[in-house]
């Protein structure tokens, strides 16, 4: 990893910043099946795009949620750090929910200025079940 020291300089050098970071040209080719790649940080949308093998866990999660007695109401959350794959996990669980006919409400809490606006959107219908789930339910 000689190139890391070239990029970030000597230890203790805090002058390097991400905004001015310049990667040097590759001096030695990567051997075997090691490859350098960049990928966008977009969530997985369908099971065919699952490169980390989380589909089985997401399907198991959805099946467990569907077995919960929700007659008195239930709230389920998927918790994790930013960028940990929560949206991808939910997208991988979605087909299991859709096959069972459970309506799915998609909303982005960042699009609301506060709890009052969110409640109004829920009560007055700007947040609706997705078309696919609505057709199966």
Mean pLDDT of the chain: 75
Q: Who contacts 16 (Cβ-Cβ below 8 Å, separation ≥6)?
A: 7, 8, 9
More confident residue, 6 or 137: 6
pLDDT tens-digit map of 113-134: 888 888 887 777 666 666 544 4
Query: Percentage of residues in the chain with pLDDT exceeding 70?
Result: 62
The pLDDT value given to residue 37: 65
More confident residue, 24 or 111: 111
Whether 13 shows a pLDDT value over 70: the answer reads no
Whether the Cβ atoms of residue 98 and residue 104 lie closer than 8 Å to each other = yes
Q: Is pTM, for the whole model, over 0.85? A: no
């Amino acid at each position: 990893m000689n190139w890391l020291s070239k990029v970030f300089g000597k230890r203790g050098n805090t002058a390097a910043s991400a905004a001015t970071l310049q990667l040097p040209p590759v001096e030695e080719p990567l051997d075997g099946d090691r490859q350098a790649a960049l990928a966008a940080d977009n969530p997985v949308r369908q099971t065919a795009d699952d490169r980390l093998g989380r589909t089985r866990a997401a399907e198991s999660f959805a099946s467990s949620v569907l077995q919960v007695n929700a007659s008195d109401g239930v709230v389920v959350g998927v918790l994790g750090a930013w960028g940990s794959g929560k949206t991808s996990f939910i997208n991988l669980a979605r087909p299991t929910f859709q096959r069972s006919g459970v309506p799915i409400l998609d909303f982005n809490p960042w699009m609301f200025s506060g709890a009052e606006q969110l409640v109004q959107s829920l009560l007055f219908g700007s947040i609706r079940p997705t078309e696919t789930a609505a057709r199966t339910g």
